[in-house]
């Protein structure tokens, strides 16, 4: 398969892993945060950790939109699904995320009209096909998905489609990275920077991280070779005492970003003064709301939104895991009360959540390491 197999070539991967071992030496410890959930997933799925020397530690970042969404927002969104003649639509990732009263799938099993869509335009199509119903799209995601929500809203307005609305939960990545860097227990040496987000915002918004915080950052693709090559680039920067923004994912990420996408976002969205992030708390100017000129399509203004706030179970340590302070398996609930099948925290739900990735791909392995090595 073109554009995939080239980046999974075992020969090149083995050579890159050797290069990493050579650059990392044995004298110091490196802590790299991969910002995106997509990276976390790929690292586990391809067993990349097994290829890295012990002194390179990968810390999972906050870039999983499902994981950082506070439970209360899920309940708010689902409360709208209980209105008569309403179709609740969301991406598949959202379907098993628990609110205080159940997941979207559980609401569906109880009779709510809950449907998976693969794009917000699918939700718009549903609205056209069901003029007597109201179709609400539960929008989540970073700058990766926000432009498509924006374009969908622009189209709804142009068509005058009144039975469609968006419950907007879009967030932006830079404030989250700032929150992590400002956190007192933060101990990250460098960042494997966002890939898909950067296709929209470009590489410039990360410059302060390299300049002011002296942390190297490399925007990275999601194939095994992309991630390993980004680690090589970070090690080179650190060994040479440099800290700059570099773009490993040049085949997809333009340095200046995607202007058309940014224009659509700024036409439809404005920054919220503040927004709650699961595990990270309130972060100012970190999320998007729908502008007044699109108020008619804003579910928060069309419906009575209860504004539910649910605190996470006390024992759950999602915040510490999100900030990279704890490893997934160090959380008290991991693998016991909290499993992919019965997730307590959202990190366990999404395949990009670090807890789910760790549980699905590594947990059993780490709990029986000696035997496995003997067997393999």
Interface with other proteins (CB under 8 A): 1, 4, 8, 10, 13-14, 17, 41, 44-51, 92, 95-96, 105-106, 109-110, 118, 122, 224, 340-341, 351, 359-365, 368, 371-372, 374-376
Alpha carbons 310 and 211: distance in angstroms, whole number: 38
Q: Which two tokens stand for residue 356?
A: 């789910």
User: What minimum distance in Å lies between the beta carbon of 111 and other proteins?
Assistant: 11
Cβ-based nearer residue to other proteins, 14 or 266: 14
Cβ-based nearer residue to other proteins, 49 or 242: 49
User: What minimum distance in Å lies between the beta carbon of 195 and other proteins?
Assistant: 14
User: What minimum distance in Å lies between the beta carbon of 274 and other proteins?
Assistant: 31
Based on DSSP, count helices (H) and strands (E) in the chain, helices before strands.
16, 13
Name all contacts of 347-351 with Cβ < 8 Å and 24+ positions apart. Answer: 347/64, 347/67, 347/279, 347/318, 347/321, 347/322, 349/66, 349/67, 349/93, 349/96, 349/97, 349/98, 350/37, 350/64, 350/66, 350/67, 350/93, 350/97, 351/41, 351/93
Cβ-based nearer residue to other proteins, 46 or 191: 46
Burial class (CB in 10 A: 0-12, 13-18, 19+), 176: buried
| Sign of the alpha-carbon torsion through 357, 329, 143, 168 | positive
Alpha carbons 93 and 340: distance in angstroms, whole number: 13
Cβ-based nearer residue to other proteins, 17 or 290: 17
- Exposure b/e, 44-78, CB count within 10 A at least 16 = b: bebebeebbeeebbbbbbbbbbbbbbbbbbbbbbb
User: What minimum distance in Å lies between the beta carbon of 364 and other proteins?
Assistant: 5
Cβ-based nearer residue to other proteins, 75 or 246: 75
84 within 8 A of 130, measured Cβ to Cβ: no
User: What minimum distance in Å lies between the beta carbon of 46 and other proteins?
Assistant: 5
User: What minimum distance in Å lies between the beta carbon of 215 and other proteins?
Assistant: 27
Cβ-based nearer residue to other proteins, 127 or 179: 127
User: What minimum distance in Å lies between the beta carbon of 53 and other proteins?
Assistant: 13
Cβ-based nearer residue to other proteins, 110 or 336: 110
């Amino acid at each position: 398969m073109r554009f995939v197999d080239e980046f999974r070539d075992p020969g090149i991967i083995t050579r890159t892993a050797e290069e990493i071992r050579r650059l990392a030496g044995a004298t110091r410890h490196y802590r790299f945060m991969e910002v995106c959930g997509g990276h976390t997933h790929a690292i586990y799925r391809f067993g990349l950790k097994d290829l890295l020397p012990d002194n390179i530690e990968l810390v999972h970042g906050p870039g999983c939109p499902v994981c950082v969404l506070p439970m209360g927002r899920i309940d708010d969104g689902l409360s709208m699904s209980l209105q008569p003649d309403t179709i609740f639509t969301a991406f598949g990732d959202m379907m098993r995320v628990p609110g205080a009263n159940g997941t979207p799938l559980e609401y569906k099993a109880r009779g709510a009209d809950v449907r998976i869509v693969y794009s917000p335009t699918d939700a718009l199509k549903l609205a056209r096909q069901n003029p007597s119903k109201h179709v609400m799209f539960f929008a989540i995601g970073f700058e990766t998905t926000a432009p498509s929500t924006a374009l969908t809203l622009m189209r709804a307005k142009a068509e005058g489609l009144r039975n469609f609305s968006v419950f907007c939960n879009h967030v932006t990545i830079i404030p989250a990275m700032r929150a992590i860097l400002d956190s007192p227990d933060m101990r990250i040496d460098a960042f494997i920077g966002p890939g898909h987000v950067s296709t929209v915002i470009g590489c410039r918004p990360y410059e302060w991280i390299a300049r002011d915080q002296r942390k190297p950052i490399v925007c990275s693709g999601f194939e095994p070779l992309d991630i390993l090559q980004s680690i090589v680039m970070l090690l080179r920067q650190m060994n040479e005492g440099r800290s700059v923004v570099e773009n490993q994912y040049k085949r997809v990420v333009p340095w200046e970003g995607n202007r058309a996408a940014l224009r659509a976002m700024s036409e439809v969205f404005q920054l919220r003064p503040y927004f709650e992030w699961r595990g990270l708390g309130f972060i100012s100017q970190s999320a998007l709301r729908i502008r007044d000129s699109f108020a008619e399509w804003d579910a928060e203004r069309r419906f009575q939104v209860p504004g539910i706030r649910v605190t996470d179970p006390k024992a759950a340590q999602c915040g510490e895991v999100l900030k990279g302070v704890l490893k997934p398996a160090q959380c008290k609930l991991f693998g016991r009360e909290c499993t992919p099948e019965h997730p307590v925290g959202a990190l366990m739900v999404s395949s990009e959540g670090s807890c789910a990735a760790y549980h699905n791909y590594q947990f059993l392995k780490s709990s029986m390491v000696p035997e496995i090595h003997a067997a393999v």
